[in-house]
Amino acid sequence: MQDPDKISLNFILSTGRTGSTLLTTMLNMHPQMLSTFEEPFAYNLYQKYNSKTDWDDQLIKEFCYDFYLFSEGKLEPQFGKKEDLIKILTAHKSGLTGAKAIKLAYFAFLPNKDKSEVTVVIDKQVKIHPVLSELITFYPKSKFIVLYRDARDNSLVKYKRSFKQKRKRSLYYFAKIWNHEYKILNRETGKISSERVLKIKYEELVENPEKTLILISSFFKVPFDAAMLNYDEKFKENISSSSTSISHSVIDNLLLFHEGLSQKVNTKKVGVWKTELKEKEYNMIWSVCKSTLLKSGYKAENCKSFFYFRVNMLPDFLRFYITRVILPFLYYKTPYSIRYLIKKVMYNKKFKGSKWTSQTFYQKS
């Protein structure tokens, strides 16, 4: 491992179903990059551990306990073992700080990856938007990739996925989410130096992956590595090698919702809204997201604005506003100590017996 002080921590910011997992998989093919996804410990643990300077074995175990407590319950198959995390932190116990411990925790992910040359850690986040301003303050040297995808395609793919999951949300609901999240991302990243922000479109990534990856490599000041274009071979290799160590249900989920990772990059999912949505549907999405789409570099492409709201949209409007605006605001404004207790209470309900987790990790001892 490189000197932790010389390793940078950075973030990919996006909403779901934007190709962020594809980008993360590509970046992990680079020997100097380590990219993980959707575990919010960089934000949650900073508040408790940033001021900690006297690290002993007990504090390291407590850190590991909290790391898992605040996990999304989906560490498998990207995370190694509890012992890996303890070993990494113990090896750097002398001079360990909270920020350094958080940075080192990333090295317990992707156990099959050679991390000896890693100098750039890139954390993919799709839920941290309500506290993005705080995250930016916590990590003043971090860089941010904002990954966009046309709201019309994004809403469509989420809508289709909701039917697979038997949740049946509306296109309107997903359009509201897209608009809300990218308004936050544009606003907050617009407050920091432009040298720290790189805006990438999913459409650019799949239409010209090499050019996009060269741009990203330059952004992080590492040389471009053509191996990033061979992500599909590595994904299939990892699935094959993991078949005996992780559950079949996890593999089935990966193959179902990330099937594109096993294929060469292509543009078949770009602009599908033009053929799969009705005129009134894509006009509605455009009407909801118009201002944010234009600011994000997208064009109308014959879409027209109109007064779209109907009474039957009210349930999804309330669902969006309560689950995506009010509850995240209340949760993150709650003092850390109370959020900690909430997590402890919810642990048994959410994680006990879960296919994603192992009970032994959660134990303090």
Q: What is the pLDDT of residues 41-94, one digit of tens each?
A: 999 999 999 999 899 999 999 999 899 888 887 787 789 888 999 999 999 999
pTM here?
A: 0.90
Whether the predicted pLDDT of 252 surpasses 50: no
337 band by pLDDT with thresholds 50, 70 and 90: confident
pLDDT at residue 144 in the model: 98
CA distance 110 to 35: 9
Does a cis peptide bond (omega within 30 degrees of 0) precede residue 77?
yes
Q: Count Cα neighbours of 314 within 13 Å in the Cβ-side half-sphere.
A: 3
Q: For residue range 187-216, what is the model confidence (pLDDT) as tens digits?
A: 999 999 999 999 999 999 999 999 999 999
Query: In the prediction, which pLDDT does 259 show?
Result: 56
- Cα(28)–Cα(260) distance, rounded to whole angstroms? 16
Alpha carbons 290 and 205: distance in angstroms, whole number = 22
Check residue 37 and give its pLDDT: 87
Each residue's pLDDT tens digit, 221-238: 999 999 999 988 776 565
Termini Cα distance of the chain? 27
